[in-house]
Amino acid sequence: MFSGSIVALVTPMLPDGNIDYKGLEQLVSWHLQQGTAGLVIMGTTAEAATINFVEQLDIIGRVVNQVSGQVPVLAGNGSNATAEGVSRTRELDKLAIDGFLTVTPFYNKPMQKGMLAHFQQVAAATSKPVLLYNVPGRTGVDLLPETVAELATIDNIVGIKEATGSLIRLTELQQRCPTDFLLLSGDDATSLAFMQGGGHGVISVTANVAPAQMAKLCQLALTGQFNEAKLLDDKLQGLHHQLFIESNPIPTKWALQRLELIKSDFLRLPMTQLEPIHHRVIEQALQQAGLTA
């Protein structure tokens, strides 16, 4: 259903802060050509936190229409208020998306009991597939394997994006969840090891910049060609790490502009553009990946 290299797509913006819809269309076309297996729209990398919901509906609707079923499109529907998450899900459900990526509630730091109830209510607001999203470094809470296992009993909760980077966590999830429960890495740097351990793919930041390489990496890993996959992954490790030298997606937008794939690396406040001191390390990572001379 959802596997391989799925890009957590950035949202191109104009220097005045408006959405660059032409740039968005060009990025989506490029990903379709480069072999990206799916698109996540309005996740963390898309700057969903500073894009209002009316804009989000417009952006997701445009992408769905453009993709027209060629690859799955997942919509971010996360909120730290359960009622808002349910409301967003019901509105997004009207679009021809293929499923949802639902992040753990952020900032208010609910207990496992609260997260369980949150996801139960959000999943009940749609019949479409829901992927859980666990990213403690961003949200301040960790969705534990025992809670995931309980949520996995809900028919339309079909998998998780696990972004702790822990391979022990992968094993714990495999031990507790059904064999058909999708396990997707949310950490590019460990995604190869995650797939080698039985994961089904990655929801990737690196794929914004190197989509063909990430698609090939996943293809190799998911067909057991791990030696070839490692050779490719070694070239991408610089990007895996340096695209997080500042908060995501600051470095990614700079890299995309450097590669002339977007016109502007503008981000809405409180996110700011990449500090000049970090330009060189991103350049080096791009060269290591074979993306620049």
* Residues annotated within a binding site for pyruvate: 45, 203
Report CA 35 to chain centroid distance, whole Å.
Answer: 16
161 assigned to active site: yes
Q: How many CB atoms lie within 10 A of CB 61?
A: 17
What DSSP state is assigned to residue 206? G
Structure tokens at 138: 């961003």
Q: Which of 161, 216, 235, 263 is catalytic?
A: 161
How many CB atoms sit inside 10 A of residue 93's CB?
15
CB atoms within 10 A of CB 186: 26
107 is catalytic: no
249: cis peptide before it, omega within 30°? yes
Contacts of residue 222, defined as CB under 8 A and 6 or more positions apart, other chains included, come to 3, 4, 195, 200, 201
* Phi then psi dihedrals of residue 158, to 5 deg: -105, -10
Q: What residues pair up with 185 in beta bridges, in sequence order?
A: 162, 202
Catalytic residue among 107, 113, 133, 263: 133
Residues in binding site: 45, 203
Residues taking part in catalysis = 133, 161
